[in-house]
Amino acid sequence: MTRRSIPILALALSLFSSGHVSAQAVLDQPSITLDAAVKMVNACEALAKSKGWKVSIWVVDDNALVVHMKHMEEAPIESIQTAQMKAKSTKALLSSTDPNDPKSSIGKMMREPRGQVMAVLLESFPDGGGLPVMVGGKFVGAIGVAGADGAFDAQCAQAGLDAITKTDATSKK
């Protein structure tokens, strides 16, 4: 490193540390909070308990990485993995994992071989129970539920989503 480059580096560093970075250089990446994730899991669990369903629930962030997870007592063991897969699937789908949901892209994909191959390559789990959390058109996280019937899993995930969209917990952060 030359002598001249050192002050330049220092200047660049000070720019970063003082936050004088132009708006184009750094973008906001919204991500779901733990508080919101806990609300989602609690709402889904409350519905499951009232109906007698035993489920595993994952909430992942905008990076499809776990934020909060709960395995209800006596929920099937494989539901731990399928619930996680459903949550992660929504990142590529940006819609529900339910093939019977007319608004979901997975339904279209399941109806033709090319789409089925795409679903495999995108690791999209084609069963109800996965829902993305979209805020301002952006994917900020997702919920995945498994262990009951696919339709019940979907209801449970929806209850979780309703818990934060009604109070709008994600926009508070």
Partner 1 sequence: MSKQIASRAALFVAVLSLFAAREASAQVIFNKKTISTEAAEKITSTCLDWYKSHSVRGKPTVWVLNANGDTIYVKRVDGANRVGVETARMKAQSALYLFRPTKAVSNFAKTPSGAPNPGGEAMLVLLNGYTSAGGLPIVVDGEVVGAVGVGGMAPDQAQGIYPDEQCAQAGIDAVFKK
Beta bridge partners of 56: 71, 146
Residues 160 and 142: their CA atoms lie apart, in Å, by 10
Using the minimum distance from each CB to partner 1, give the nearer residue, 46 or 69. Answer: 69
Query: Taking the complex as a whole, how short is the minimal distance between the CB of residue 38 and partner 1, in angstroms?
Result: 8
Measured from the CB atom, the residue of 64 and 106 that comes closer to partner 1 is: 64
Q: From CA 62, how far away is CA 173, in angstroms rounded?
A: 15
Q: How far is the CB of 103 from partner 1 (least distance, A)?
A: 29
Kindly list the residues in this chain that would bind partner 1 in the complex (CB under 8 A).
31, 33-35, 38, 63, 65-73, 77, 80, 173
Minimum CB–partner distance for residue 88 and partner 1 (Å): 13
If phi over 0 gives left and psi between -120 and 50 gives alpha, with beta otherwise, what is residue 124? beta
Helices 34-51/150-165 angle, 10° precision: 140
Minimum separation from the CB atom of position 100 to partner 1 (A):
28
Nearer to partner 1, 73 or 103 (CB): 73
| DSSP one-letter code for 28 | -
CB nearer partner 1, residue 13 or residue 77: 77
Angle at 91 between CA 90 and CA 93, to 5 degrees: 55
